[in-house]
Amino acid sequence: MSAGWFARRVLLIGYTLLVVSLVVFAVTEILPADAAVVILGQNATPAALAAVRARLGLNDPAWLQYWHWLWPALHGNFGISMRTDQPVGPEMFAALGRSLLLAAGAIFLMLVVAIPLGLAAALGRGRSIDLLAGLISYLGVSLPEFVTATLLLMIFADRLGWLPATGYVPLTQNPLAGLSHLALPALTVALVLIAHVSRMLRSEMIDVLASEYVRAARLKGLPWRIVIFRHALRNALLPVITVVALDVGYVLGGIIVVEEIFAIPGIGRALIVAIEARDLPAIQAAAVIMAATYAGVNFLADIAYALLDKRIRYE
């Protein structure tokens, strides 16, 4: 990984986000809502509306409005919420933090299930364990989140009563309660992703097990677990990283539904609330922050890939 590669990637991400911000701004501009009407209500006098328009700069040309929005946004200041009259930025970043916690929990749960599942399927290829693993994966990926969420709620919250149904408790306040509130939503998101990773790992693992270097490792008389874990799994996991990075993008989208079902105040829910309230600054902030997170995660995945696969050198 050279400094040049790094600089180029950062530039590219900056460019991507610039395009995203343009699109977001343009789309929210053409929404059938007049910000002044939203603020003052349907019965406001024309004079009052004109005054608000002047104050918000709504009479300026579009590019100037864009610039007036973009420049503070680059500093984390996305304006004042039309709904709460509070600054949008801090609220959104706090929501993002909660969402990332949920996403991390989901990815973690997914890996904990998917890696052993993929491994078992590859090692027991064509046997019942392989079929079972396939069944679990495909069931997870084919059921929509609102169905799995409902099923999980019925079993774990309603029938067994092991876990709380909805709500959010900060980990700093009560770690145990915080985790138990995250468990079901994280599991819901994880179930969808298990198929990607376990199927990918299965096919990679089957290729690697047939490779000459795994044969060589076996002919060195190495114990089975060293052949599998040190020689085979390591190489089979590399392409999986890319899939996980793509999945993070999916999680950021899929989380909107899950946060809504489980009443978690994350960025997805913040986006829905903002859209319902036609809170333009909040919509813009949420969309841009989500895009930035996605780009950032993929960047991290590239770096992780290079660190793990010694053959890759970004130049």
Partner 1 sequence: MSPVLSIENYRLEYRSSGTAFRALDDVSLTIGPGEVLGLVGESGSGKSSLAAAIMRLLPPNSREGGGTIRFQGEDLRAMGPRQLRSVRGRRIAMVFQDPSSALNPTLTLGRQVSEVLETHRGLTPPEARAEALAMLRHVEIKDPEALFARYPHEASGGEKQRVVIAAAFACHPELVLLDEPTTALDVLTGARILELVRRLRAQIGMAGLYISHDLALVSRVADRIAVIRGGRIVEEQPAATIFRNPRHPYTRLLAEAAPRPDRRLTTDEAGAEPLLGLDSLSVRYDRRGVFRRRAATGAENVSFTIREREVLGVIGESGSGKSSLARALAGLVRFEGTIRFTGRSVKGPGAMDRAYRRAVQIVFQSPDSSLNPRQRVREILARPLKMFGGNVAEIPRLLDEVRLAPNYAARYPHELSGGEKQRVAIARAFAARPRLVICDEITAALDVSMQASVIELLLALRAAHDTAYLFITHDLNLIAEVAHRVAVMYRGRLVDLLPVAQLREGDVHPYTGALIAASPLPVTA
Q: How far is the CB of 30 from partner 1 (least distance, A)?
A: 35
Q: Tell me which residues touch partner 1 (CB under 8 A).
A: 4, 8, 211-213, 215-224, 226, 230-231, 234-235, 238, 308-311, 315
- In 60-117, the DSSP E strands lie at none
Q: How far is the CB of 85 from partner 1 (least distance, A)?
A: 46
Q: How far is the CB of 33 from partner 1 (least distance, A)?
A: 42
Nearest Cα neighbor of 27 from 284, 205, 202, 213 is 284
> How far is the C-alpha of 103 from the C-alpha of 233, rounded, in Å?
25
Pick the closer one to partner 1 by CB: 138 or 213. Answer: 213
CA 5, distance to chain mean position in Å, is: 25
Residue 76: both structure tokens together: 């984390």
Q: How far is the CB of 119 from partner 1 (least distance, A)?
A: 17
Pick the closer one to partner 1 by CB: 27 or 308. Answer: 308
Pick the closer one to partner 1 by CB: 180 or 242. Answer: 242
> How far is the C-alpha of 90 from the C-alpha of 221, rounded, in Å?
58
Pick the closer one to partner 1 by CB: 217 or 272. Answer: 217
Pick the closer one to partner 1 by CB: 55 or 125. Answer: 125
Q: Are 143 and 195 spatial neighbours (Cβ–Cβ below 8 Å)?
A: no
Q: How far is the CB of 207 from partner 1 (least distance, A)?
A: 13
Q: Say how many C-beta atoms besides its own lie within 10 A of residue 46's C-beta.
A: 7
**What are φ and ψ of residue 80, in 5° steps?**
-105, 135
